[in-house]
Amino acid sequence: MIRRRTILGTAAGVTAAGGLGGSAAAASQAGRNPPPAGAPAAGPDDTGALFDPSPAQQALLRLLPHHADQVRLRAAERDLTPGGPVDWFRVSGTGGKVTVDGTSPAVLLTGVHWYLKYSAGVDVSWPGHSLDRLPRRLPAPARELHREAVVRNRFALNDTHEGYTGPYRDWADWEREIDLLALNGINQVLVTTGQEAVYHRALGEFGYSDQEMRRWIPGPAHQPWWLLQNLSEFGGPLSSQLLRARISLGRKVVERLRSLGMESVLPGWFGTVPVDFAERNPGAHTVPQGDWLGAFTRPHWLDPRGDHFASVGEAFYRHQAELFGAAGHVKMDLLHEGGTPGDVPVPDAARGVMAALQRARPGAVWVLLGWQANPRREVLEAVDRERLLVVDGLSDRYPDLDREKAWVGTPYAFGTIYNFGGHTTVGANTAVWARRFDAWRTRPGSRLTGIALMPEGMGTNPAANDLFTELAWRQGPVDHRAWFAEWADRRYGGGDRAARAAWEILRRTAYSLAEGRWSEAQDSLFTARPSLTATSAASWSPKEMRYDADAFEPALGELLRVAAPQRATDAYRFDLVDVARQALANRSRLLLPRIRDAHRGQDRETFTELTGQWLTAMELLEELLASDPRFLLGRWLRDATRWAADDQEAARLEFDARSIITVWGPRRAADPGGLRDYANREWSGLVGDFYLPRWRRYFAALEETVDEGAEPEPIDWFALEDAWTRRRGGYPVEPTGDPHRIAGRVWRTLRDTHPEGDGTA
């Protein structure tokens, strides 16, 4: 039987600004003293014990400052009987008096979110919300809402998340993201912010100075690939001030997650050391890892079989616990993307890594990414698989997957990576999720124990985020069509025929991508390095449209017809700009083949007309993007420079932030390494000042050769692009223009200039 003991979380003791009072303050202060190494993992209490719901009430005040006093949050106990629910929530009550019971502070917020969606009919997502459409008096739940989590592990964030989503976010940004993660039922969050300090302190015990460590650690935008053992130094060095500031931010993130009953999944120790570690530590055995993509010298790998590995591991986990607490789940992957074991047997290495973890964190779980050939079968077979969790990045990408067989019975989470590099493209394989997740979960012998939401860039595709995280709270397959119809109704805070029509178009096109080769939609050719034969901007992105562009385009016309009250919502403004942007981006794939044909056919008139359409479209795109704050380059760069200790560091941090979204690294990383434009995105400032000048220059060069149909003299694109990454400032941080008016111009332009073709170039 499910038991509930009432502990009320009310607005009392919590200030309107989100401050703490009473017992909540004591709980927060306790979180500032992380548990020692070996202490029980922070996060949901598997004993079924009750908890303080005050942190959830604080989040409710941030989310619903004018309605929080109408919601009562009550702590409830888990059902500990065999087969009982992992987590559950219940929503009941009357108008103006809504009650939510749940098994952790985060689960209480998940219950609030289901109430908002399925009773109040409003939306709050990544990004966009329609909370302004709530009436002053909250409506009574239409019926009692009771949901049980169907999986225990509800994991979020990619190893590269910090680099591509927000390497320079502040606490306010992180606080918002944590609230959203809780609202969506997530209970395990990968946290890498501040983890550079663990290496800094641990390796300081093995012959390295403060200055040497700060030089070895890359800038924040490139740190994820250092944690993956792919590179070091690039974008650095870090100042002492920045190092301290990132420790402080990382601690806040971990403490907030802990207060909500969510786990921080922290990076683990698997042997990354500077290339001269063995020289400084006689008797240590390291394995050179070569280079990554021919562009970066990888750090060496310390042999996990030796005493030095164990000693550094002890220091690593000790300092991590002192700074951030003892994590019950740690994320690490051996020999990532081309790493070599050298003369070290991989099974022995796996046992050494697990032994170091278990000495420091008895009972901890090693989390591995399911990606390409990872995890290696020999790793899985060498250790206790009950102490492993694979977060699968390919669950929706390929057909005929058998994870139980491939991973020899290792527990795993059904995962998706539908966004690479932070691309602004619309789309995901949501129809695959809707039918495949439940089929995998319920088949005989299933080892599926969770979900893993792992886009490289958060803040895109809010419908995809919402649908995917709901999988963990639904029995049976999802009715894809019905789900999107309900989404359309609540997205703008009220049923609207045009909104439903728009989202049905989006469902049938960008959100019904099929399994096969890809898990994301195509990127934009406006963001590609200029070439008549360009098929993608990023080297590893789809080379063709993954849906019919002509079928997608009418979604914009329908959105423009949404009624005025719904158009006033933040969610509508984001969606309108995003869909208009995508419709223009799709046009680039229809125009470029025609431009190529005109040039090769020596048809100057058509070439001039079509390149004029292309450049006009990019100018209009720049104006459109400037109308929404979530598409502004200026904010990305401002976020970077405000962390700087001085002007020199400000220049380094701005370079770090500019390079990651353009050339990525040095020349060999951009070409031939293939990383240039990997993180392409259509943002105001980036389109107008980086992508558009490239295409103008290229078309001008082509125009000189159109009569011969020949390619112009080669242009050193990297030199131009790298020069842009070393510039400073100069971009707005506030939006300008009316998005509805500009999107209307986009719609008229698309109708007036529709090219020939079937829309599937």
What does the pLDDT read at residue 710? 86
- Rounded to whole angstroms, the Cα distance separating 534 from 614 reads 14
Mean pLDDT estimate for the chain: 92
- Taking residues 190-207, report their average pLDDT: 98
Q: In terms of Cα–Cα distance, which of 146, 156, 148 is closest to 115?
A: 146
Extended beta strands in 295-372, E state = 296-297, 300-302, 329-331, 365-370
Q: Tell me the residue type at 28.
A: S
**Strand pairing partners for 286?**
302
Query: Residue 665 gets which letter from DSSP?
Result: S
**Strand pairing partners for 370?**
392
Number of helical H runs and strand E runs in the chain: 30, 18
Between the CA of residue 408 and those of 80, 172, 405, 412, 445, what are the distances in Å?
28, 42, 5, 11, 11
What does the pLDDT look like over 700-756, one tens digit per residue?
Answer: 999 999 998 888 999 999 999 999 999 998 899 999 999 999 999 999 999 998 865
- Taking residues 315-323, report their average pLDDT: 98
**How, if at all, do strands 88-94 and 365-370 pair?**
unpaired
Do residues 340 and 222 lie in contact, with contact meaning Cβ atoms separated by under 8 Å? no
Q: What are phi and psi of 467, to 5 degrees?
A: -65, -45
- Taking residues 236-263, report their average pLDDT: 97
Do residues 447 and 409 lie in contact, with contact meaning Cβ atoms separated by under 8 Å? yes
Peptide bond into 735 cis (omega under 30): no
The dihedral sign for the CA sequence 493, 257, 423, 650:
positive
What does the pLDDT look like over 383-409, one tens digit per residue?
Answer: 999 999 999 999 999 999 999 999 999
Q: What are phi and psi of 659, to 5 degrees?
A: -70, -40
E strand or H helix at 166: none
Contacts of 248 (CB under 8 A, 6+ apart): 194
Do residues 303 and 344 lie in contact, with contact meaning Cβ atoms separated by under 8 Å? yes
- Taking residues 370-374, report their average pLDDT: 92
- Joined tokens for residue 236: 């650095």
- Joined tokens for residue 568: 């006033």
- Give the chain's domains with CATH numbers: 8-148 (3.30.379.10), 153-499 (3.20.20.80), 632-730 (no CATH)
What does the pLDDT look like over 321-362, one tens digit per residue?
Answer: 999 999 999 999 999 888 999 999 999 999 999 999 999 999
Q: What percent of the chain has pLDDT over 90?
A: 89
**Strand pairing partners for 100?**
73, 91
Region label for 283, one of left (φ > 0), alpha (ψ between -120 and 50) or beta (otherwise): left
- Joined tokens for residue 100: 């939510």
- Rounded to whole angstroms, the Cα distance separating 497 from 175 reads 35
What does the pLDDT read at residue 457? 96
- Rounded to whole angstroms, the Cα distance separating 363 from 37 reads 12
- Rounded to whole angstroms, the Cα distance separating 542 from 192 reads 29
Q: Tell me the residue type at 122.
A: V
What does the pLDDT look like over 90-102, one tens digit per residue?
Answer: 999 999 999 999 9
- Taking residues 482-489, report their average pLDDT: 97
**How, if at all, do strands 329-331 and 365-370 pair?**
parallel
Do residues 333 and 372 lie in contact, with contact meaning Cβ atoms separated by under 8 Å? no
